[in-house]
Amino acid sequence: MTIHNMPSSSTGNGDPDAFLVVEDLNVEFPTPDGPVQAVQDLSYRVGLGQTLGIVGESGSGKSVSSMAVLGLHDAQRSTITGSIKIGGQEVVGLNEPGLRKLRGNAVSMIFQDALAALHPFYRIGAQLGEAYQVHHSSASKRDARRKSIEMLDRVGIPQPDKRVDDFPHQFSGGMRQRAMIAMGLINDPSLLIADEPTTALDVTVQAQILDLLQDLQREFNSAVIIITHDLGVIAEMADDVLVMYAGRAVEYGPCKEILVAPEMPYTWGLLSSIPDVMADTDARLIPIPGNPPSLLSPPSGCSFHPRCVHVDKVPGALCATTLPELLPGGRGPHHLKRCHLANPAEIFRTEVLAEIAPKMVEEN
C-alpha cells in the first residue's frame, strides 16, 4: 500500500521499530456509579515521521488514551494496565520524575482550546521560555527568550521579537494555536500529540495550522498523533487511521484503506453523516441513529450493535452476545476491523455508497 505525496509511505501496523508502541492499553476510572472502562484493549504503533489519526465521537476514549501516553492520569484515581513504550521506554507505572522528563521533551501535546491552555497572567514568551528552561537547566533566561522568539518566528507569527511580550488575549485564535504549537515543539519532541488542534478554528486558519504541522513534522521528523472528529482533516493529514468507539478500536489501518474501503458499519456511519463540499446533491445525509452508549453500562457484545443498521445481516444474535475481535478483514493484514459482517465490501458498495455517493457507484 503506497500513498502518494507523502514524505514516508505508510507502514500500516506491522512496524516493529515504531517510536510509540501501545499494547493492550486499558484505562479504568472508578466513579460513584461504578467503574468506567474508558479505554479497552487498545493497541497501536506510530513510527517517526508518521501521522496517526484517531477518530471517534466524544466519549469514545480517544483523548483518554492519548493522555495516558503522557501519563496525565492521576494514579490514585485511575487504573492503567497494558504497555506504552516511547522510544523503548515503558511509561505505564513510571514514577512522576521520570514522566516529567518525558513530558514536553520527548513527547508533547497541543490542546484544543488554546485560550484555556495558555495562562492568562503570563506573557507568551515567559510561558514558552519556561517550557524550554525546564528541560535545559543550564539555559539562561536570555537563551530561553531567544529560543522563544525563534520558535514564534518558526510557526509564522509576524514580528516575533515584539509579540513575544504579548499576553495570550492579545493574540487572535489562530495565533494562539500557533503559540501552543511553538510551545509544544520548543524541545524538538519526537512525538507530538495534537488533540483536536483545529476544531475551534475557521477553515482558512485550520488550513494554515495543518500546513504548519505538516511542514514542521517534515522538518523535525517527529511522530504525530492527531485526534479529531473531522474525517476531512484525517484524509489530508494521516498515514494511518484508528477509529474508536466506546473505548475500543473498531477499525485500524492505512488512511486510504479506511476511508476508501471501510469495513465497519460505524465508519460507514461517520462517512455517511457528513456532507461533502463537492458531493452531488442527490447524496443523502444519513445519520447514525441514537446516541453514543454510556460507558458505565456498555452494551453487551459489540458496543455498536444498538445503533448499527446492519445487525440483521449477521446470523443469529451474534452482535448482541459476542464481542468481535479486532482482526484483518478481506483486504489484507494491514486493515483490521472489529465486526461480525461476513461481506462488508459488498454491503458498502451496493447499499451505503449507493445512497451517499450515487455517481461513484454508477461509474464503477
Distance of CA 11 to the CA centre of its chain: 17
> Phi and psi for 127 in degrees, rounded to 5?
-70, -40
- Cα(263)–Cα(97) distance, integer angstroms: 43
Return the residue matching grid coordinates 507568551: 124
C-alpha cell at 182: 511553538
Amino acid letter for position 187: N
CB of 86 to another protein, least distance (A): 27
- Cα(177)–Cα(271) distance, integer angstroms: 28
C-alpha cell at 60: 469514545
**Which one, 79 or 291, has the nearer CB to another protein?**
291
CB of 76 to another protein, least distance (A): 24
**Which one, 54 or 84, has the nearer CB to another protein?**
54
**Which one, 143 or 351, has the nearer CB to another protein?**
351
**Which one, 139 or 279, has the nearer CB to another protein?**
279
- Cα(195)–Cα(227) distance, integer angstroms: 5
**Which one, 38 or 84, has the nearer CB to another protein?**
38
**Which one, 63 or 108, has the nearer CB to another protein?**
63
CB of 233 to another protein, least distance (A): 5
CB of 187 to another protein, least distance (A): 27
Which distant-in-sequence residues (6+ apart) come within 8 Å of 107 by Cβ? 69, 70, 86, 189, 190, 191, 192, 193
Alpha carbon separation from 44 to 12, 13, 65, 69, 225 (Å, rounded): 10, 7, 11, 12, 11
C-alpha cell at 253: 489501518
CB of 17 to another protein, least distance (A): 23
DSSP 8-state code for residue 311: G
CB of 228 to another protein, least distance (A): 10
CB of 210 to another protein, least distance (A): 7
Bridge-based pairing state of the strands 107-110 and 34-46: unpaired
**Which one, 131 or 237, has the nearer CB to another protein?**
237
Which distant-in-sequence residues (6+ apart) come within 8 Å of 200 by Cβ? 112, 113, 114, 173
CB of 289 to another protein, least distance (A): 5
Q: Which residues pair with 137 in a beta bridge?
A: none
**Which one, 138 or 204, has the nearer CB to another protein?**
204
